[in-house]
Amino acid sequence: MRPADADQVLAIYQHGLDTGHASFETVAPTWSDFDAAKLDRYRYVATGPEADSVLGWVAAGPVSDRCCYAGVIEHSVYVGPRARGLGIGAALLSTLIAATEADGIWTIQSGVFPENTASLRLHARAGFRTVGTRRRIGRLHGRWRDVVLLERRSPSVL
Ligand SMILES: CC(C)(COP(=O)(O)OP(=O)(O)OC[C@H]1O[C@@H](n2cnc3c(N)ncnc32)[C@H](O)[C@@H]1OP(=O)(O)O)[C@@H](O)C(=O)NCCC(=O)NCCS
């Protein structure tokens, strides 16, 4: 993911938020806020036949400043509406997993709405387990929502 991808990344982000099942956020951040929150090493785009057309992205940020959690990150994955269901989310996630494991990152976590069956399936296939469901943890458009906490503990980072 390069700064030149910013507009497409944020447009895909907004499409995902518009589903109402991707995040509590309703408006995609500015590029500078997005850029500040995500680790440089763990942000990727999937491109189409033209290398500058972005189909989807994955990016991760740290979960804590505490050194005991230095190998724990939280990610987001978004695929554009016309490119969903083609394996792009799975490819992005496996790229993130390979890159983070190579660096010794031991846990990747994410929160997913239970209604987001595509995301739950995607993450289960990539080796994420369900830690638990946080009940009525936040409100989106005035409605209390549960969030399923997922994590993948790397089997190769010992
Ligand atoms: C969730 C999302 C990233 C999945 O990406 P994708 O590229 O469409 O997913 P893939 O094609 O790689 O499919 C991954 C798995 O999910 C399954 N899947 C995909 N879409 C699905 C759907 N609508 N319902 C149920 N399962 C679905 C696929 O069949 C596949 O499972 P399989 O390997 O057993 O066949 C994508 O739908 C998306 O961007 N949604 C909007 C934003 C969002 O919700 N992001 C996640 C926030 S937690």
Q: List ligand 1's pocket residues with C-beta within 6 A.
A: 16, 19, 21-22, 77-79, 84-90, 110, 112, 116-119, 121-122, 125
**Predicted pLDDT of residue 88:** 98
**Predicted pLDDT of residue 51:** 81
Q: 57-107, pLDDT tens digit by residue?
A: 999 999 999 999 999 999 999 999 999 999 999 999 999 999 999 999 999
What DSSP designation does 134 have? E
Third-level CATH fold of 3-153:
Aminopeptidase (3.40.630)
**Predicted pLDDT of residue 81:** 97
Q: 41-60, pLDDT tens digit by residue?
A: 999 999 999 889 999 999 99
Q: From the CB of residue 148, how many other CB atoms can be counted at a distance below 10 Å?
A: 20
66 Cα–ligand 1 center, Å: 32
Atom of ligand 1 nearest to the CA of 91: 12
Which of 29-33, 51-55, 59-63, 124-128 is least confident?
Answer: 51-55
Boundaries of every domain in the chain = 3-153
User: What's the burial of 107, exposed, middle or buried (CB within 10 Å: 0-12/13-18/19+)?
Assistant: middle
